[in-house]
Amino acid sequence: MPDQGEFYQRDRDWHPPAYVKEYKTSVARSPQYALISLQNSVGEITGPVFGHNDIDPMDRDLIHNYATAGESAIGERIILHGRVLDENARPVPNTLVEIWQANAGGRYRHKKDTYLAPIDPNFGGCGRTITDENGYYYFRTVKPGAYPWRNYVNSWRPAHIHVSVFGSGFVQRLISQIYFEGDPLIPLCPIVKSIPNQEAINSLVAALDMNSTIPLDTIAYKFDIVLRGRRSTLFENRLEGN
């Protein structure tokens, strides 16, 4: 990729701050000193490259990727799809997208999750795919259930799917959560509300996408992911800083 330079500075007023007292775990896990700002060099602009040899095509189908042959996961069958773009609205092709989630009852397949809702024997809860040349991705899964957690006595996470994306440079690395249109738990959640800006919160809510629904089969939600954009020129010559 010629003539591509540094990544745009991250807008840290748009992202959640490290310390959010209502999200209790963040209190002891947030740095107190200011971050040291660093201009990009080669290790920031580059990042790991993944290929189709790294994953299997079935990895994107959570309805079947952990199911016994002939069985499928229980729950509302959904397609989750969209594009990975950068801030310049250019597609991010061939990038790894990984997701994980609870089952339809809000139970995670994790040895540390002791919620009384049962495990679904045919549902693992993770998937991964690589975007195509247009930055497009899709998963097939079941809609996760809400999930109680020990923050306040009566805290419930909205239905959500965790998402992890790489991009082309290591400083684009991002983990976030995808919520679902119309969920009344969204405005109550301290993790959602760690994001100070309502417009930013809205950008994490997947829209019901009737056009992509498969009639009599699977309902669809659309979710675009935006990673940091890059300047169009290589390093300036200014002899200052790092």
Partner 1 sequence: MVQPLNYLKETPSQTAGPYVHIGLAPGAAGFDIYERELGWDIAGPNAEGERIRVEGLVIDGTGSPIKDVLLEAWQANAKGIYAHPEGGGEVEEGFRGWGRVITDFDTGEWGFDTIKPGKTPGRNGRIQAPHINLWVVARGINLGLNTRIYFEDEAEANAEDPVMNIIEWERRRATLLAKRSEKDGKVVYRFDIQLQGQDETVFFDV
Residue numbers 145-174 binding partner 1 by CB under 8 A: 162, 164-165, 168, 170-171, 173-174
β-bridge mates for residue 157, sequence order? 147
Give the burial class of 182: count Cβ atoms within 10 A of its Cβ; 0-12 exposed, 13-18 middle, 19 or more buried. Answer: exposed
Of 80, 70, 65, 58, whose CA–CA distance to 218 is shortest?
80
> Which one among 76, 91, 117, 124 touches partner 1, defined by CB under 8 A?
124
Closest contact distance (angstroms) between CB of 107 and partner 1 is 11
Q: Does 31 bind partner 1 (CB under 8 A)?
A: yes
Please indicate whether residue 115 is annotated as part of the active site.
no
Please indicate whether residue 179 is annotated as part of the active site.
no
Q: Does 218 bind partner 1 (CB under 8 A)?
A: no
β-bridge mates for residue 205, sequence order? 179
Alpha carbons 46 and 28: distance in angstroms, whole number: 32
Choose the stretch contacting partner 1; rule: CB under 8 A; options: 72-80, 94-102, 134-142, 214-222: 94-102
Q: Does 241 bind partner 1 (CB under 8 A)?
A: yes
Q: Does 187 bind partner 1 (CB under 8 A)?
A: no
Choose the stretch contacting partner 1; rule: CB under 8 A; options: 99-107, 138-146, 180-188, 205-213: 99-107
> Which one among 75, 106, 125, 135 touches partner 1, defined by CB under 8 A?
125
**Which residues are CB-neighbours of 76 under 8 A, at least 6 positions away?**
104, 142, 143, 219
Size of the site for partner 1 (CB under 8 A): 98
Q: How many CB atoms lie within 10 A of CB 190?
A: 18
Measure Cα distances from 125 to 55, 86, 110, 224, 232 in Å: 16, 27, 10, 21, 39
Q: Which of 137, 147, 179, 221 is catalytic?
A: 147
Q: What are the catalytic residues? A: 108, 147, 157, 160, 162
